Structure formats: C-alpha cells, structure tokens
C-alpha cells in the first residue's frame, strides 16, 4: 500500500510494472500490484509486511488499528528507534495497535538492489513465538533468499538499528580522507559500545555476532551502497554541514536520528559510550567531523574490552 500522494507511482506499478520511486530500470513481476486504498490492501490478507519508517510507525498504525485484523501476522522490516520514547519496533507496534499483534522482525545484510538481482542473500527473522518465526521463514525463503530464525527479538532489533550510527562514522572517516584503518577502528570500537547496550537490555550476545549483528554492520559500513555511510562522507566533505549533507544524501538516513537516541540509551542505562557520544555530538553540530576524530584519538589508553 502506498500513500495517497503516491498515486502516480502506484499507477506506474500496476500499468507498466515499474516502480518510479526506486530501481526504475527494473521491471517488476506482474503479480506485484500497488494501491492507495486501505480496504483494498487489507482485503483477504494473510500476512502484512510493515515497512513504514520507525519515526512514523506509531501514528500510522494507530490510525489503521481498527482495519488491521488482529489475528493476521505481521513482518516488520523497519529498523530504528523512536526518538520520543526510545522504543524499538517490538514495543512500538503493540503500543500503537493497543494489542499484541502476532509479529516477526526481519533484519540482516540485504541491500534491496541485491535482492532484486537475486544475489544469494541470508537474513534473520525474529519472534518471541518460535512457530511464528518458522512460518515467516517458510513464507519468505526462496532459492536465493535464505532466512534463519531466532527468538532473540531484542538482539536482532538493537543490532540492526544502532549499526547505522557506525556506518555514518565510517563514511565520515573516508570523507576526511582517511583510509580503511580509520573506518575499521571507529566501527569496531563503536560496535563494542553497542554490544554493551544490547546485553544491558537483555539481548543475547551471540545474536550480535550473527547476520543481524556483525553481518548487517559489515554490509552497511563497507558495502558501498549505504545511505548512512554516504551521508557520513558527505558530512565530512561539506564541512560538517548536516542540513546540506542530508539534502545531498536523499532518502531516509536512519542513523541520523538514531545517533541521538543511542546516546540517550547509554545515559539511561549508565553506560559509558565515548565513540557513540562523539558521533552524536557531530551530528548535532556541536563538533566537526575532524574534531570528532581528533577527540577520539585522545581517549585514555587501556585494555580492549
């Protein structure tokens, strides 16, 4: 389902099998159709794929709650954390609907273009209900799209959401003219801080070492097609001008709002997150990308944790 102001794009999908919003050179299968009508989209529905950006999910689902059948399972592919409440999607969805909707969460190293090209890809689907996770696995798996399951919803969501912050940092390192040494340093030490948050919030550390953790992290930071990494590079090459970098990046840069929320999560749980905090301060305009890098290099030397 698309927004009412996207009716032209919906017509293009239905009539020409072309999505004019993205990947416009690729023809879609004829069984993919689009609509701007809520009732039409939900008619005889057996599964719902939720892809609304996190910051807009609560209002969107609250307005739809009486139309969404309460027993129809939902698979969320939205990644991030709500700025106002510091909630992840597994908390946002039931709060918005006012009930416990059967829900699974899909994450993993998977750029959309690669999926469309049918590159061999592997992801993870998580649900507190193992049977629901298994059902989603069977629904979504294909010869070129491999889906694993887990019941660790927190680990999957935290890793997949917060890694975008580190992709921005990697992009800034490259934008400043540094090489892979610097980007890898920021990502690895920043990931150690994200692991602290995840474990503190009840996640399983092994999830952070899997596809939805390190796998997603590597692709987003070094895969070459990440909006978050590109935004970081643009920020560094444009003198730390956040507004200009966002305009040039285009689309949704998930890591931008997530950085502030990530810093606040650390404060909420009394965790020291020096690299995350420095990234958040850079994105708020308090310091420049070069000042961020120089500041991080002054940290007290110690053991690697």
Q: Which residues are part of the catalytic machinery? A: 163
Backbone angles phi, psi at 152, to 5 degrees: -85, 80
- H helix and E strand count, the chain: 15, 5
| 51 annotated as a binding-site residue | no
- One-character DSSP codes across 213-250: IIIHHHHHHHSS--HHHHHHHHHHHTTT-HHHHHHHH-
Q: Rounded CA gap, 249 and 251, in Å? A: 7
Q: Give the list of residues 6+ apart from residue 267 with CB closer than 8 angstroms, or none.
A: none
Q: What angle do CA 84, 160, 285 make, to 5 degrees?
A: 50
Nearest to 190 by CA among 206, 172, 170, 210: 170
Q: Which residues pair with 88 in a beta bridge?
A: 81
| 79 annotated as a binding-site residue | yes
| 198 annotated as a binding-site residue | no
| 260 annotated as a binding-site residue | no
| 112 annotated as a binding-site residue | yes
Binding-site members for NAD(+) are 56, 112, 227
Binding-site members are 56, 79, 112, 227-228
């Amino acid at each position: 389902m698309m927004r009412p102001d996207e009716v032209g794009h919906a017509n293009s999908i239905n009539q020409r099998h072309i999505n004019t919003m993205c990947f416009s050179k690729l023809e879609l299968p004829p069984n993919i159709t689009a609509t701007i009508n809520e009732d039409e989209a939900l008619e005889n529905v057996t599964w719902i794929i939720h892809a609304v950006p996190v910051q807009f999910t609560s209002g969107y689902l609250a307005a739809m709650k009486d139309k969404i059948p309460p027993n129809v399972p939902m698979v969320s592919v939205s990644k991030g954390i709500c700025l106002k409440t510091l909630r992840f999607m597994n908390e946002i969805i039931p709060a918005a609907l006012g009930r416990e909707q059967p829900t699974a969460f899909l994450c993993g190293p998977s750029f959309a273009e690669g999926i469309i090209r049918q590159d061999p890809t592997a992801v993870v689907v998580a649900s507190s209900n193992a049977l629901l996770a298994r059902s989603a696995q069977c629904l979504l798996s294909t010869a070129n799209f491999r889906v694993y399951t887990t019941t660790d919803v927190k680990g999957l969501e935290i890793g997949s959401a917060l890694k975008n912050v580190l992709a921005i940092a990697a992009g800034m390192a490259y934008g400043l003219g540094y090489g892979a040494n610097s980007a890898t340093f920021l990502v690895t030490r920043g990931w150690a801080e994200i692991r602290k948050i995840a474990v503190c919030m009840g996640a399983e550390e092994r999830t952070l070492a899997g596809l939805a953790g390190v796998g997603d992290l590597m692709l987003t930071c070094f895969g070459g097609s990440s909006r978050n990494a590109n935004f970081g590079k643009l920020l560094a090459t444009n003198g730390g001008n956040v507004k200009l970098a966002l305009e040039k990046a285009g689309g949704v840069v998930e890591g931008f709002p997530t950085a502030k929320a990530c810093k606040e999560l650390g404060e909420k749980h009394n965790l020291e997150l020096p690299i995350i905090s420095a990234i958040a301060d850079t994105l708020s305009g308090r310091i420049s990308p070069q000042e961020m890098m120089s500041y991080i290099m002054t940290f007290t030397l110690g053991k690697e944790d």
